Structure 1
């Protein structure tokens, strides 16, 4: 009994130390210019059996389970933070990249894998499918806080959030072809449309249901609202998976619906899921680092094959897929070059590489090691240079405003009121107006203004400036009216605009 208690305490201690190490590495990653995901993997490799030997872990099934749960939470958080107004203009290019782009990448990498790994064509296409999609965890983590042009950032985020189902479908299909004596190809094609169609439907339906439920239910503790929202993410994935639809697509779509609705305790839900997604990201990449044995990975045979396939993926397969998938869809040459370079691989390929291992596919261990090496080089090389490449191509946008959140944003359930946060854009109609001249609904109160990281105590004579962050106490019935008022754009004088254009020309 004492020995069992010691083992549990030892396990809890290790989890605590790993999470602390993961959080600290995010600080070092910023200074070193290296994506934190790489450092999480290295932490796992360091404490594993081939490193310091603290943890022996070689269970692919457990790694797959942890990876899928973590991906659900990460996709949910990413979808919550994604604005539909940014995604809508790039929806078709993103879907093209998520479907046609994955197929093209898979095909090109497959022919390279056939020659380099000396495997059958079906096995080569399996390898191509595993590394064919970009990774939501890697893309969301690397782009967070970067001043990449919104159009490009939204394209990459929407692509990474929707291309996992295609990669999962292709991976499972090629495994079935390898293991089945007489595979039914028509069934596989029908299964694809079932997965995508019903995954989309379930995501939309449960996203709407979750939004209504969160706003209608009156819970005793505000801390239960984020848990309630997260429960819908897990429920969405499980229902979709239960009927054979794409659970990952359903979760991302549901999160988009929820995140773009007005929610009670909105900021609490967002902040909770942001922190939980970071925790799962740390846990997932550390576990995947534990699963690999450096002694097997860093062998010359794996190194040169992995490097060659990484180069082909980054410099040949991904660019060709991007240029074809976005043909005549409103992207310039420089933008397509950037999209090609920003196609990060991460946890999804590693998790998918466990599928052949569990199914007992020949060469599955070779695939896992090479995939791991490809992901490591992709994240390290591409992830650490995304901002630099965007800057060189002239594709950086205005510096992102990151609110200090010095005020706790709350919903006051008993009083039927909320404190909301609003970022004032430069073309807003209220810019230059004093608070006393703005026709706010009765009972609305501007509690604080954050201006250039400084707190401004508002009075009636305070003038609103661009990039101000307003904290507003408002009743729920007037919340929409206040938001509409603040979002109203300045009217453009056509004659003045024509004059300015003639003057500049």
Structure 2
């Protein structure tokens, strides 16, 4: 006899078993992060697997409400977008915003029509259903990409584009899926495509303005009334991001883009308690991802997977080898993005949570005979994550789009850093970097920045000015708050040119790479 999760919430006597299962699931998922990192697979697969094991095909927990799944899915996506905006530095995506926005709008439309045409001609589906499926699977998940590429240093021109695309593409895809689904459910009330396009532009534009305004005003208010407790301040920042979603939705615009923009604005303001804020946002983001993917695993019905295996393979291959590359070429060629970058961005178009959540929309709106779409999208996401994810590091290296010397921010749980207005930057010296052999003083870091620690061969030491840097080293650089960008530019220059950095002119736009 199956156990209904909804029934358990009504009975207070079930609190103990529910907390037992929930805590055990969290622990298992946290452990799974380490295991998937070693295998090169995104953590979403482990979380989905946990949901499947707990669901009707495993331990028998009955969770079959598409309506509840959609509400919980949207709620989780809001928190994930908030975390993405707060942790994204404007300097890392500034030069990628225009191509990323084009990829998230024009590229999405191109991908939808290419996928829909293939589904209509190869699988024999109606144009309406083909367009609906094409829209559902058109959204990529850069979070899945970065979970695979933690150890592969991407240049800013690519990582920034992936970050920006992941933040921008959810909103237009959600609007497109809702519009197509509504026209299927009520054909008499369907609006012409030109009207849908105009409404989409208006909603995205107004949503962006609302998000920027709420983020700026909310961040300023929190900064002026900052509580002594960093934890309360962090809760306030995330709450402002959620507030932006609600405000935009109430006035009929895109809440998802408003949420992301508000978080992006606050994440790049000079707010106090920054370390605590980012740590809390990351924790909330992880919790939302775990809950989202486990819930989607519970919602899936393994009995329907076999029937959808062939269509999922066909559509997945079309997406991977045709729709995504064509959308990348159309969107990025006008920005003179190199062919190597375009090939990698095409292969890096992993599908994640958004398509699976959107697959619940046709059921909740009341479209008849399309409940199979959820199983199709679920199988497609899992199957092509297994195909693409392990190969991404190999593809990046063989295309030559990795960066030999890269820097990354450290989240340091240390309140004194706030009071002395300092930053910590970690520099990883990769194979091929010309940092190898350079002595510390030859870095010529700006005044106010210094290499405080070197980690080498499982040990660490404080370097002297004449200490040579080696491949495999990790350098901990301490700098004044305003010098971080200058430190990063200097380290990248030395990584490319060695001791002669500064004497050799940098190519145009190199600081964005």
Paired residue secondary structure (1:395): coil
The CA deviation at 1:336 is 1.0
What are the Cα deviations for residues 142-181 of structure 1, in whole angstroms up to 9, with x where unaligned?
3445312221121122112111111111111111211221
Aligned residue runs from structure 1 range 79-478, under 5 A: 79-180=85-186, 181-185=188-192, 187-297=195-305, 299=306, 301-398=307-404, 400-401=406-407, 408-410=413-415, 417-418=420-421, 420-423=423-426, 432=441, 449=453, 451-452=455-456, 456=461, 468-471=475-478
Aligned to 2:508: none
The 1:120–1:138 alpha-carbon spacing in structure 2 relative to 1, beyond 3 Å, is same
Distance (Å, rounded) in 1 between the aligned partners of 2:328 and 2:486? 40
Q: Is the 8 A contact 2:207 2:258 kept in 1?
A: yes
Residue among 46, 66, 73 paired with 2:72:
66
Q: Is the 8 A contact 1:80 1:258 kept in 2?
A: yes
The CA deviation at 1:196 is 0.8
The 1:163–1:12 alpha-carbon spacing in structure 2 relative to 1, beyond 3 Å, is same
What are the Cα deviations for residues 247-278 of structure 1, in whole angstroms up to 9, with x where unaligned?
11112222222222222111111111112211
Q: Is the 8 A contact 2:47 2:294 kept in 1?
A: yes
Paired residue secondary structure (1:364): coil
Aligned to 2:15: 8
Distance (Å, rounded) in 1 between the aligned partners of 2:427 and 2:385? 35
Distance (Å, rounded) in 2 between the aligned partners of 1:292 and 1:328? 41
Paired residue secondary structure (1:328): helix
Aligned to 1:31: 38
Q: Is the 8 A contact 1:140 1:157 kept in 2?
A: no
The CA deviation at 1:419 is 5.2
What are the Cα deviations for residues 190-209 of structure 1, in whole angstroms up to 9, with x where unaligned?
32122111111012112212
Paired residue secondary structure (2:334): coil
Paired residue secondary structure (2:271): coil
The CA deviation at 1:86 is 2.1
What are the Cα deviations for residues 367-402 of structure 1, in whole angstroms up to 9, with x where unaligned?
111111111122221122211111121111136556
- RMSD over aligned Cα, in angstroms? 3.4
The 1:438–1:192 alpha-carbon spacing in structure 2 relative to 1, beyond 3 Å, is closer
Q: Is the 8 A contact 1:44 1:286 kept in 2?
A: yes
The 1:455–1:302 alpha-carbon spacing in structure 2 relative to 1, beyond 3 Å, is same
The CA deviation at 1:350 is 0.7
Paired residue secondary structure (2:424): strand
What are the Cα deviations for residues 15-66 of structure 1, in whole angstroms up to 9, with x where unaligned?
111111111111111222222111111111111111122x211111111122
Q: Is the 8 A contact 2:241 2:262 kept in 1?
A: yes
Q: Is the 8 A contact 1:139 1:157 kept in 2?
A: no
Distance (Å, rounded) in 1 between the aligned partners of 2:233 and 2:222? 7
The CA deviation at 1:108 is 1.0
Distance (Å, rounded) in 1 between the aligned partners of 2:354 and 2:80? 11
What are the Cα deviations for residues 396-450 of structure 1, in whole angstroms up to 9, with x where unaligned?
1136556776x6321588xx645542457999xx962899x9865xxxx989545
Distance (Å, rounded) in 2 between the aligned partners of 1:397 and 1:432? 23
Paired residue secondary structure (2:85): helix
Distance (Å, rounded) in 2 between the aligned partners of 1:93 and 1:145? 25
Q: How many positions carry a matched residue from both structures?
A: 478
What are the Cα deviations for residues 345-374 of structure 1, in whole angstroms up to 9, with x where unaligned?
111001111110101112321211111111
Residue among 25, 28, 37 paired with 1:21:
28
The 1:309–1:484 alpha-carbon spacing in structure 2 relative to 1, beyond 3 Å, is closer
Q: Is the 8 A contact 1:450 1:470 kept in 2?
A: no
The CA deviation at 1:496 is 5.2
The 1:278–1:438 alpha-carbon spacing in structure 2 relative to 1, beyond 3 Å, is closer
Distance (Å, rounded) in 2 between the aligned partners of 1:434 and 1:152? 26
Greater mean alpha carbon deviation, residues 281-290 or residues 110-119: 110-119
What are the Cα deviations for residues 42-94 of structure 1, in whole angstroms up to 9, with x where unaligned?
111111111122x2111111111221111111122222222222212222211
Distance (Å, rounded) in 2 between the aligned partners of 1:439 and 1:166? 45
TM-score (norm. length: structure 2): 0.83
User: Which stretches in structure 1 are left out of the alignment for 5+ residues?
Assistant: 499-505
Distance (Å, rounded) in 2 between the aligned partners of 1:204 and 1:228? 16
The 1:141–1:233 alpha-carbon spacing in structure 2 relative to 1, beyond 3 Å, is farther
TM-score (norm. length: structure 1): 0.85
The 1:403–1:242 alpha-carbon spacing in structure 2 relative to 1, beyond 3 Å, is closer
Q: Is the 8 A contact 1:61 1:358 kept in 2?
A: yes
